[in-house]
Amino acid sequence: MKTIDQIAQFFNDSEYFNGGVKLNENLATHTTMHVGGNAKLFLEPENEESLVFAIKELKKLDADERRCTRIKSFFVLGGGSNVIISDDGLDAVISTRKMNGIDADERGLTQIKVDSGSSWGSVISFCKKENLGGFEGFTGLSGTVGGALYMNATCFALSACDNLISAEYFDSRDGKIHVYEKKESDWGYKKSPFQSADFRRFPQIILSAKFALKPGFDSQKSEQCMASRKEKGHFRAPSSGSAFKNDAAHGIIAGKVIDECGLKGFSVGGAQIAPWHGNFIINPEQKATASDIKNLSDQVKRIVYEKKGIILENEILFI
């Protein structure tokens, strides 16, 4: 039976894994809400090959309890901007943040290939430098490209899929790398083809994506989007962005409904509905726990249903 230390040493010694290997890593430092327990094993692959190798090896440990009883599950983490990780922590976490390359198409066309762990800040900086337009609406957006595609992040009338051409992903069900060619019918509001009910057990991990952009970076629009985020209080306190999904088809704006129920400033433990925005759950004094946030979310959903008859759906993921 392998111990956690032995598994960590295995990755350190393997010629097939390049990247960081850490034990008992504090996951609160890897999420924008600043909550979560420790990861017994924390891997930071530097390339696609290392990421795929790590997933395959951890799935072997998950399937064969005789080899190790401590690794029961693992989670692939991007920027940590849309997740609340359990106070109890996780057995193993694979971070994509070191997979952060951005390259223009070698033919000189307005296409870029972006690794899944790239931050949107780095993408915007690249587009500004290369004078490429199309992603100005994501200025100031937290998280990574892979996470945004998985959730199909949407803001300022821009969705992560809008400029997408294709994506390369690893399917843990068959252990192979595939290329997904964009189909409009696969995408919707906060919906992507990479989501599934069993994503924790059989995840489809986005490795990289190709996007079609246009000549000319709109600096004014980029600055306006950043100013709007600041005005709405996106950066005033640790949060995970919008806590609940809107239902535009029925004219339901989550923040407005929560405000109408008098819940701005409502708190449970160290977690609070932002006094300035009904759809932000914040950690104002960085004393909140994941349990506080989950309990607050559940109470908000209950109160809104009792007062409005509206069922709110979480946008943030509780891991």
Active-site annotation, residues: 242, 315
User: C-alpha angle 197/50/240, rounded to 5°?
Assistant: 45
Rounded to the nearest 10 degrees, how much is the dihedral formed by the CA atoms of 49, 29, 312, 206? -10
d(CA 265, CA 275): 4
CB 205 within 8 A of CB 51: yes
Number of Cβ within 10 Å of residue 254's Cβ equals 21
Task: Name beta bridge partners: 170.
Answer: 177, 205
Contacts of 263 (CB under 8 A, 6+ apart): 273, 278, 300, 303, 304
Hey, what are 151's tokens?
């959730």
Contacts of 127 (CB under 8 A, 6+ apart): 112, 133, 134, 135, 136, 213, 217
Hey, what are 276's tokens?
């300035």
Place of tokens 């849309």: 82
User: For strand 267-268 and strand 271-273, is the pairing parallel, antiparallel, or unpaired?
Assistant: antiparallel
Nearest to 19 by CA among 61, 47, 52: 47
CB 112 within 8 A of CB 132: yes
Contacts of 42 (CB under 8 A, 6+ apart): 20, 21, 22, 23, 25, 27, 92, 93, 95
